[in-house]
Amino acid sequence: MEPQILKGAEEFTLGQGTVGVLLVHGFTGSPQTVRGLGAYLAERDLAVEGIRLPGHGTTWQDLNARATKEWVDAVEAGFAKVAEGRRKVFIVGLSFGAALALDFAARHPDDVAGLVTLAPLVYTKDPRRFLAPVISRLTRSLPGIGNDIADKHARELAYERLPTSAAYQMLRFIKGARAALPGVRCPIVVMHSRNDHTVHPGNSQVIFDTVASEDKELVWLDKSYHVITLDLDKQEVFERTYDFIKRRADA
């Protein structure tokens, strides 16, 4: 029996148009973190698909029972859905969702019209990463990593516990995603807050420096923490994302 989806964490399909956008949320988060961005893009005649990665938006125990392949397959299925009948498709990924998006773009270089990576994760400096295989066997969860947000009025719908088995799989995946960066050739804009406490801002510099894309831009934000789609810079994030997609869609 499938666990119940938390209220507000549901997948969403918004808007219509000849250009599609796939939105991919982060690890232990949910589609709630990108729903506002999705609505903004849909209001501007873009067809938006906000997927829910398996094990997310339910319980941390559910996430702990999931495998990397399920997350990769969810992105594949989401892209196929939004691409049907569309002339161009873009992917917007937040945090771990950006790693999934980069991996997809490297494997499907002719299918992705452009990438927007928001506070992207392709490596971590957390010293616990070296012990992840051991930690996952010793304890099922650790304190959560959600709600790194400067705006006191905003809240992320994320787990309060970090499932260790799933986290170990996530860490292994981002290592591969980082290795795949030279295979990314599509236009890309990379956005990150300098004050991110969850994903080191250096991730964005590494992505910008390593992708093979000739059309690329790196944007630094200063008012937000990690979840920039919900935080004090969200309007700039929304506007820059739309502007990037609009210009490349019309090219």
Query: How deeply is 182 buried, as exposed, middle or buried, from its count of CB atoms within 10 A (0-12, 13-18, 19+)?
Result: exposed
200 classed as catalytic: no
Rounded CA-CA distance 221/219 in Å is 7
C-alpha to C-alpha distances, 112 to 19, 161, 245, nearest whole angstrom = 11, 34, 11
Rounded CA-CA distance 23/38 in Å is 7
226 classed as catalytic: yes
Active-site residue, from 95, 136, 141, 165: 95
Active-site residue, from 62, 103, 196, 233: 196
95 classed as catalytic: yes
**CA-only gyration radius of the chain, Å:** 17
Rounded CA-CA distance 221/191 in Å is 7
∠ CA 41-42-47, rounded to 5°: 105
Active-site residue, from 25, 56, 192, 226: 226
Beta-ladder partners of 162: 142
Catalytic residue positions, numbered: 95, 196, 226
